[in-house]
């Protein structure tokens, strides 16, 4: 067997367990060894039976004097054992595990670990972990040590994982080549890889477990940083683009004729983009900013600069609705300057000539031709796959690329996930933008919230009601589903109102139809799942009601909140909870005070971790095995080292271990872009 061997070929695994392991992202021996514990149970301290007390968690070692199965009055199995360690005897009991009498026999010596309780008026070990004492006296893996507890799935317990991982470690731990150079290990005081893999799973003590975690976290983040920086360097080295001349007078005339003044943030971001456009190497920049912060205007400035240099611009959006919005905005901004703006979507083909072509993935079709593409703008770039983005790049001779996102990205995540892109942040809202009044609503005020929505819709305004699920769930019975809530609201709560329903199972054309009807005011209220998170502009919508808000990250709530407040009327966001615990309530109260997405994303990163920031619909966020993007110190440290190594040797010829590791398809080879 090799580290790349599929898990179904491991002894005592088979196809059924292989399918279960796949739910944990485990497909190979390497994946299994890199499935790390998230905590340890300290079962290392042995106690004499004569000294155990009720309520304690203890480990004892002794001889099984008797073990037998019996049945309770209601027909359930009990397995009872009597254990003696020379200082006394203690009873152990297991529920509904009759097979234990095949594993444990009278006269065997074994180790037992668990909680001591009172059972049938006797001091008893209840459902203890057990392990038959080895003849060679070596410590076990389930008892008598720091016992690893792993992320689990149905029918794959930590005990099962321990029993499969330990023999694999004994065979393979030393076969993993250490990618970190010897000088890095020495300078950073890091354990070698073999020791780290052994100690992370079965540590001799907590200090070594901590050091193993530190080393593996360092390696994981460092390799990601190195990967994106190497990609960035290669982009600049091997790509040649078109150096634009920035026609200052014409661009300033365009900006000065706008009915509003640009914010300092918009001016700063435009200057960063213009600086890139003047270089022969193609721009590769990410523009991040909240809904309403003015990203489209900045993009228009870049597209106008391309037009003044005789180049075309491709502007790709993830949905027809968003593409139409950009088409309308760019036409209003630039058509008076002679710029021809076109629109190409699945339902609309543009047959005239153009300087800027706005569209959906339809821009990628073979029939869409650009005579002189110089700039590619991609909105909400995480919604497009790597292949789609590559196709759009190929439409011209290495065009400059500007990607945009309204997703708030904390700095540490931007450095790690988008380290190959230069970053511009719109961290300022235009003056006069009305802040959305946000309230965490107690459950007793729910009917009052419905009355408020009814009042607003009677005044001619519109509302969103967001539910996290499409259909009711047996396991999440308290969570409101969009379909059931739509039916309940329409028949019982708001019968006079016109309601629409939008969710992810609708076909793209059906979604477009629902949104068009909502925009045209055929519906007063749109009940929806979080598919409305990005790219929907309904200026007449003033109320956003979010069910089960405690199940969302703050950044995702902020993006949902951004669906209202797009007109001139005062707007509101009402947050309801499933779990009204003090911690959930406190976390959501932050939404009442903070109105910048980057701030909320930073708070969520510290309190809930990177996996919770974007919700389940967000693509491109890596599933880290052990490191945390919330560890700002380690992110900066690994970034600095990666920059130093790439600067010294961008081809990594002096670092064959690193070069080999980056070329492998492995758990640590993450390429989000």
Question: Residues 261-284: what's their mean pLDDT?
Answer: 94
Q: Per CATH, is 45-144 categorized as 1.10.1060.10?
A: no
pLDDT at 130 over 70: yes
d(CA 165, CA 168): 5
pLDDT at res. 248: 95
pLDDT at 306 over 90: yes
Question: Residues 2-17: what's their mean pLDDT?
Answer: 91
**At 522, is the pLDDT very low, low, confident or very high (cuts 50, 70, 90)?**
very high
pLDDT at 608 over 80: no
pLDDT at 211 over 70: yes
**At 214, is the pLDDT very low, low, confident or very high (cuts 50, 70, 90)?**
very high
pLDDT at 364 over 60: yes
Higher pLDDT, 662 or 182: 182
Helical packing angle, 248-256 and 295-308, nearest 10°: 140
Q: Residue 83 contacts by C-beta under 8 Å, 6 or more apart in sequence?
A: 49, 60, 62, 63, 64, 65, 89, 90, 91, 92, 110, 112, 125
Q: How many other C-beta atoms lie within 10 A of the C-beta of residue 634?
A: 19
Distances, alpha carbon 615 to alpha carbons 531, 608, 618, in Å: 11, 11, 6
Instruction: Count Cβ neighbours within 10 Å for each residue of 33-55 and write b for 16 or more, e otherwise.
Output: bbbbbeebbebbeebebeebeee
DSSP code per residue over 534-579: SS---TTEEEEEETTGGGS-HHHHHHHHTTS--SSS--EEEE--S-
pLDDT at 326 over 60: yes
d(CA 361, CA 345): 7
Q: Residue 672 contacts by C-beta under 8 Å, 6 or more apart in sequence?
A: 417, 418, 620, 621, 622
Q: Residue 259 contacts by C-beta under 8 Å, 6 or more apart in sequence?
A: none
239-259 per-position pLDDT tens digit: 677 899 999 999 999 999 998
Question: Residues 55-69: what's their mean pLDDT?
Answer: 93
483 SS3 class: helix
pLDDT at 313 over 50: yes
- Exposed, middle or buried by CB within 10 Å (0-12, 13-18, 19+), for 276? buried
Q: Is 292 left (phi over 0), alpha (psi -120 to 50) or beta?
A: left
For residue 612, the 8-state DSSP code is G
d(CA 408, CA 425): 10
Question: Residues 430-450: what's their mean pLDDT?
Answer: 89
pLDDT at res. 673: 36
pLDDT at res. 381: 58
pLDDT at res. 669: 36
- Among 102-111, 190-199, 476-485, which is the least confidently predicted range? 476-485
Percent of all residues in the chain with a pLDDT value above 70, rounded to a whole number:
91
Question: Residues 15-19: what's their mean pLDDT?
Answer: 93
132 forms beta bridges with 110
Comma-separated ranges of CATH 2.40.50.140 domains in the chain: 45-144
- Among 58-62, 420-424, 489-493, which is the least confidently predicted range? 420-424
pLDDT at res. 1: 84
d(CA 364, CA 178): 42
646-666 per-position pLDDT tens digit: 988 888 899 998 988 888 744
pLDDT at res. 623: 64
Higher pLDDT, 556 or 210: 210
Question: Residues 19-37: what's their mean pLDDT?
Answer: 94
77-100 per-position pLDDT tens digit: 999 999 999 999 999 999 999 999
Higher pLDDT, 419 or 49: 49
Q: Residue 557 contacts by C-beta under 8 Å, 6 or more apart in sequence?
A: 546, 549, 575, 588, 591, 600
**At 307, is the pLDDT very low, low, confident or very high (cuts 50, 70, 90)?**
very high
pTM here?
0.71
d(CA 325, CA 330): 9
Handedness of CA 575, 579, 580, 582 (dihedral sign): negative
Distances, alpha carbon 193 to alpha carbons 172, 175, 196, 211, 608, in Å: 11, 10, 5, 11, 29
d(CA 524, CA 500): 8
pLDDT at res. 64: 96
> What is the gyration radius of the CA atoms in the chain, in angstroms?
30
- As a whole number, the mean pLDDT across the chain is 87
Residue among 311, 338, 319, 321 at smallest CA distance from 395: 311
pLDDT at res. 644: 93
402-418 per-position pLDDT tens digit: 999 887 777 777 777 77
**At 499, is the pLDDT very low, low, confident or very high (cuts 50, 70, 90)?**
very high
pLDDT at res. 532: 72
What is 248-278+292-405's CATH number? 3.40.50.300
Comma-separated ranges of CATH 3.40.50.300 domains in the chain: 248-278+292-405, 437-594
What is 437-594's CATH number? 3.40.50.300
Q: Measure CA 455 to chain center.
A: 38
pLDDT at 612 over 60: no
pLDDT at 430 over 50: yes
Mapping DSSP onto H, E and C, the string for 191-252 reads CCHHHHHHHHHCCCCHHHHHHHHHHHHHHHHHHHHHHHHHHHHHHHHHCCCCCCCCCHHHHH
pLDDT at 2 over 60: yes
pLDDT at res. 671: 36
Question: Residues 449-463: what's their mean pLDDT?
Answer: 95
CB–CB of 553/428 below 8 Å?
no
Task: Determine phi and psi for 614, rounding to 5 degrees.
Answer: -105, -10
pLDDT at res. 197: 97
Q: Residue 140 contacts by C-beta under 8 Å, 6 or more apart in sequence?
A: 111, 131, 133, 134
Largest CA distance in the chain: 96
């Amino acid at each position: 067997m090799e580290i790349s061997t599929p898990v179904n070929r491991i002894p005592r695994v088979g196809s059924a367990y292989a399918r279960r392991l796949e739910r944990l992202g485990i497909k190979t021996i390497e994946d299994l060894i890199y499935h790390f514990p998230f905590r340890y149970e300290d079962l290392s301290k042995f106690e004499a039976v004569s000294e155990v007390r009720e309520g304690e968690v203890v480990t004892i070692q002794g001889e099984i004097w008797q073990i037998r199965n019996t049945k309770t009055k209601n027909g359930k199995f009990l397995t009872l054992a009597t254990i003696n360690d020379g200082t006394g005897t203690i009873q152990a009991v297991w529920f509904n595990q009759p097979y234990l009498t095949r594993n444990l026999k009278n006269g065997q010596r074994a180790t037992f670990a668990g909680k001591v309780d009172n059972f049938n008026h006797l001091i008893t070990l209840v459902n203890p972990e057990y392990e038959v004492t080895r003849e060679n006296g070596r410590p076990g893996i389930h008892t008598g040590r720091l016992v690893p507890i792993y992320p689990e799935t149905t029918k794959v317990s930590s005990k099962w994982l321990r029993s499969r991982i330990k023999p694999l470690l004994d065979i393979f731990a030393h076969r993993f080549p250490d990618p970190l150079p010897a000088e890095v290990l020495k300078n950073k005081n890091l354990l070698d890889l073999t020791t780290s893999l052994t100690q992370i799973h079965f540590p001799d003590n907590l200090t070594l477990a901590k050091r193993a975690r530190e080393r593996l976290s360092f390696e994981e983040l460092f390799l990601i940083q190195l990967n994106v920086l190497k990609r960035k360097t290669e982009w600049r080295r091997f790509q040649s683009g078109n150096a634009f001349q920035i026609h200052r007078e014409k661009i300033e005339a365009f900006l000065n004729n706008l009915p509003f003044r640009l914010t300092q943030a918009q001016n700063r971001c435009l200057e960063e983009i213009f600086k890139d456009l003047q270089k022969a190497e193609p721009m590769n920049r990410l523009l991040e900013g909240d809904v309403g912060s003015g990203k489209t205007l900045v993009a228009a400035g870049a597209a106008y600069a391309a037009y003044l240099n005789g180049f075309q611009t491709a502007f790709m959006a993830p949905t027809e609705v968003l593409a139409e919005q950009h088409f309308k905005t760019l036409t209003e901004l630039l058509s008076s300057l002679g710029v021809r703006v076109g629109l190409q979507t699945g339902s609309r083909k543009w047959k005239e000539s153009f300087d800027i072509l706005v569209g959906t993935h339809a821009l990628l079709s073979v029939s869409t031709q650009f005579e002189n593409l110089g700039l590619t703008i991609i909105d909400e770039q995480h919604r497009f796959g790597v292949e789609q983005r590559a196709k759009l790049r190929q439409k011209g001779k290495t065009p400059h690329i500007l990607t945009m996102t309204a997703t708030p990205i904390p700095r540490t995540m931007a450095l790690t996930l988008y380290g190959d892109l230069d970053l511009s942040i719109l961290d300022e809202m235009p003056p006069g933008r009305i802040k959305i009044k946000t309230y965490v609503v107690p459950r007793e005020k729910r009917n009052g919230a419905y009355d408020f929505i009814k009042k607003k819709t009677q005044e001619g305004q519109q509302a969103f009601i967001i539910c996290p699920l499409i259909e009711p769930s047996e396991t999440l019975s308290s969570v409101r589903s969009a379909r059931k809530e739509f039916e309940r609201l329409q028949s019982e709560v708001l019968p006079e109102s016109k309601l629409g329903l939008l969710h992810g199972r609708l076909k793209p054309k059906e979604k477009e139809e629902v949104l068009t009807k909502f925009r045209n005011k055929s519906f007063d209220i749109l009940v929806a799942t979080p598919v409305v998170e990005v790219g929907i502009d309904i200026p007449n919508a003033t109320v956003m009601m979010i069910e089960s808000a405690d199940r969302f990250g703050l950044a995702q709530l902020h993006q949902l909140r951004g669906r209202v407040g797009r007109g001139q009327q005062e707007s509101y966001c009402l947050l309801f909870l499933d779990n009204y615990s003090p911690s959930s309530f406190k976390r959501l109260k932050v939404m009442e005070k903070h109105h910048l997405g980057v701030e909320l994303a930073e708070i969520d990163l510290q309190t809930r971790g990177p996996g919770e920031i974007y919700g389940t619909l967000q693509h491109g966020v890596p599933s880290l095995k052990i490191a945390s993007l919330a560890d700002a110190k380690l992110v900066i440290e690994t970034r600095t080292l990666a920059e130093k190594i790439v600067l010294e040797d961008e081809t990594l010829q002096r670092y064959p271990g690193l070069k080999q590791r980056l070329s492998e398809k492995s758990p640590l080879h993450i390429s989000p872009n």
